[in-house]
Amino acid sequence: MSVNSINTATDNLQTAYLSPEVTAKEKSQKESDAKKDVSAVYDRSDKQAESNAAPAKRTYRPDSALVQQLKADQAAQQQNLLNIVNKMLNKQVTAFGRANSGTEGATDMWKFLASGDFEVDAETKKQAQEDISENGYWGVKQTSERILDFANALTGGDPAQIEKMRDAFLKGYRKAADTWGGELPEISKQTYEAVLKGFDKMAEEAGVSLSEVK
């Protein structure tokens, strides 16, 4: 047997009995070498072109549906406050009539409230007097504060809505006055003044100018 034959047989034996780790290492090395032969090409021309291209012109269109919805919401807010004011003042007037049942010097309207369907017993009259007292539920302070709180809640505190809410209050007050013959009792007039002062204060704190009340 020649020397070359022996060497060839030896090489074949070594290859046949190589460990898996060695074989995997050689495979990994070959794959790495193959990757190095592949040139990574990065063409900046496309990116540069995209960068230099003029931005697409955007078209702005008013959302008419949203505008109409917002207008409707504002109108609903004003109507809500108008209704609230009307109901509150009607209840305040009713409490006033009950509290002044049989009182000397009461106007004909309040005498009427204290008679007929509005006749009240001593206990009801006493409760009504407490309700319209300075710190009572239907007194000037609490009633005016509730009206202003409702106005603030309906608008979410938006300063731009202060004058609209004040106008809604005025309409609600006039509606209540019409219900009772065109004039409300002194307690309601004092409530009116307290609410207007409240709106003026809100506007001043928000830096908003209000038009003169007509």
- Give the domain range for residue 201: 66-92+134-206
Residue 82 lies in a domain: yes
Who has greater pLDDT, 80 or 194?
Answer: 194
Q: Which residues contact 157 (CB under 8 A, 6 or more apart)?
A: none
Residue 41 lies in a domain: no
Residue 9 lies in a domain: no
Write the pLDDT tens digit of every residue in 78-111: 888 899 998 999 888 888 877 776 554 445 554 5
Residue 123 lies in a domain: no
- Among 201, 161, 145, residue whose Cα is nearest residue 76: 161
| pLDDT (0 to 100) of residue 95 | 86
CA atoms within 13 A on the CB side of 181: 9
* Global pTM value: 0.62
Residue 164 lies in a domain: yes
Torsion of CA 206, 170, 83, 129, to 10 degrees: 100
Does the structure show a pLDDT above 60 at 112? no
Number of domains the chain contains: 1
Alpha carbons 86 and 79: distance in angstroms, whole number: 10
Residue 172 lies in a domain: yes
Write the pLDDT tens digit of every residue in 11-42: 443 444 444 444 555 556 655 554 554 444 44
